[in-house]
Amino acid sequence: MRILGIDPGLRVTGFGVIDVEGSSLRYVASGVIRIAAGPLPPRLKVIHDGIGEVLAQYRPDLAVVEIVFVNVNPQSTLLLGQARGAAITTLVAAGLPVHEYSALQVKQAVVGTGRAAKEQVQWMVQRLLSLPGVPSPDAADALACAICHAHAGAMTGQAAANSGAPASTPGTRAQRGARMRAGRLR
């Protein structure tokens, strides 16, 4: 399975692509989409076009996007949400399943603590993927999103193997809640 991780941003959007075979993770590519300052609509188009190029080149099976946290400045949070929306729309329009994890979940899965510093995430991503150097912060965050989903998939697959139940993907809290209310927690 090929997983594309996205760390959305209005100045820099990180991407990371990994292949997962069983419990083995293999680095494919990572980088950033740089967005110039200016009016918001053209910046969102740069995100859309950049992710479109990544999709065409690497052909992932699914995508993972970091959930936006609410920071001190509500305006910044709203703008970041629009960058995230542009990324998700591009992914969904391409027919990819999209999974979402909070920064806390990603750090917990990759570093072992949800309060890890960016440098710790970079270092662990380098180690987990056997990279020759430390990836940039934005690329490392995107790779960490992909690794988080690979670990979540391994855990749900392992739990299903132990219980005899079919494996499922965790989805978002809202998706899990909807399945639960519908009586189909998978």
From the list 19, 66, 119, 141, the catalytic residue is 66
Q: What are phi and psi of 146, to 5 degrees?
A: -65, -45
Which residue, chain included where needed, has tokens 């993972």?
Answer: 64
DSSP 20-63: EETTEEEEEEEEEEE--SS-HHHHHHHHHHHHHHHHHHH--SEE
How many residues does the structure list for the chain?
A: 186
Note if 61 is an active site residue: no
Q: Which two tokens stand for residue 64?
A: 């993972």
Could you confirm whether 138 is annotated as catalytic?
yes
41 half-sphere exposure, CB direction, 13 A CA radius: 0
53 is catalytic: no
Q: What is the distance between the alpha carbons of residues 81 and 119, in angstroms, rounded to a whole number?
A: 24
User: Which CA distances in Å does 85 have to 66, 142, 175?
Assistant: 11, 16, 17
Active site residues: 7, 66, 138
